[in-house]
């Protein structure tokens, strides 16, 4: 037997590829692995000696032959390959998280530039506090009142006393 014809050994295949034991009468075992960058889900096709057709294991929803166009049955693989499933899930979650965190920052910057509330995007109308969410503006609006008016509380009539005085009330 030449070197190229040697039977495959388990150590050259990934851990998730099955190898039948000696007492299993198997003609062929096909290992199907899916996922990127690592194999995350797998299934197997076992062709046993004397069986009329190969048997699909670790998959659901076997596709009709006319659709799959393969000599063996295929379906949706469901057996997990845990290291690959963890790595692939983490990778795709990280990729999905980038726009999730980036988009709110972009939106807040645009609202701030347009003079809207940086928390909810509502038109503040020059008010120091957002009338929608109550958040204070990041910068105080231009002062239209004199320095003496600023610390004064708003009267029950709704306007500061200095405004009433300025209006001659
Ligand atoms: Zn707001």
Q: pLDDT digits over 89-102, tens only?
A: 999 999 999 999 99
What's residue 65's pLDDT? Answer: 78
What's residue 1's pLDDT? Answer: 37
Measured in angstroms, how far is the CA atom of residue 143 from the centroid of ligand 1? Answer: 21
- pLDDT > 70? residue 16: yes
Measured in angstroms, how far is the CA atom of residue 129 from the centroid of ligand 1? Answer: 8
What's residue 19's pLDDT? Answer: 86
What's residue 164's pLDDT? Answer: 47
Minimum mean pLDDT range among 44-48, 82-86, 154-158: 154-158
**Closest to 18 (Cα-Cα) out of 87, 67, 79:** 79
What's residue 20's pLDDT? Answer: 84
Measured in angstroms, how far is the CA atom of residue 59 from the centroid of ligand 1? Answer: 51
Measured in angstroms, how far is the CA atom of residue 156 from the centroid of ligand 1? Answer: 25
What's residue 130's pLDDT? Answer: 92
Give residue 9's pLDDT band: very low, low, confident or very high (50, 70, 90).
low
Q: How far apart are CA 40 and CA 32, in angstroms?
A: 11
Measured in angstroms, how far is the CA atom of residue 160 from the centroid of ligand 1? Answer: 24
| Percent of residues, the chain, with pLDDT higher than 70 | 75
- pLDDT > 50? residue 162: no
Domain ranges of the chain: 7-80
Measured in angstroms, how far is the CA atom of residue 100 from the centroid of ligand 1? Answer: 20
Measured in angstroms, how far is the CA atom of residue 124 from the centroid of ligand 1? Answer: 7
125's CB contacts (< 8 A; 6+ apart) are: 131
């Amino acid at each position: 037997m030449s070197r190229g014809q040697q039977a495959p050994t388990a150590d050259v295949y990934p851990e998730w590829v099955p190898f039948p034991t000696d007492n299993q009468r198997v003609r062929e075992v096909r290992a199907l692995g899916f996922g990127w960058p690592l194999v995350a889900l797998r299934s197997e096709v076992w062709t046993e000696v004397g069986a009329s057709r190969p048997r699909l294991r670790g998959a659901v929803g076997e596709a009709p032959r006319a659709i799959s166009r393969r000599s063996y049955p295929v379906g949706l693989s469901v057996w997990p390959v845990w290291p690959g499933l963890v790595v692939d899930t983490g990778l795709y979650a990280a990729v999905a998280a980038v726009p999730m965190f980036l988009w709110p920052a972009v939106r807040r910057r645009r609202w701030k530039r347009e003079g809207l509330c940086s928390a909810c995007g509502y038109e503040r109308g020059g008010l120091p506090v957002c009338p929608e969410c109550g958040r204070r503006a990041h910068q105080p609006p231009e002062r239209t009142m004199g320095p003496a008016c600023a610390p004064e509380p708003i009267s029950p009539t709704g306007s500061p006393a200095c405004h009433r005085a300025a209006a001659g009330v």
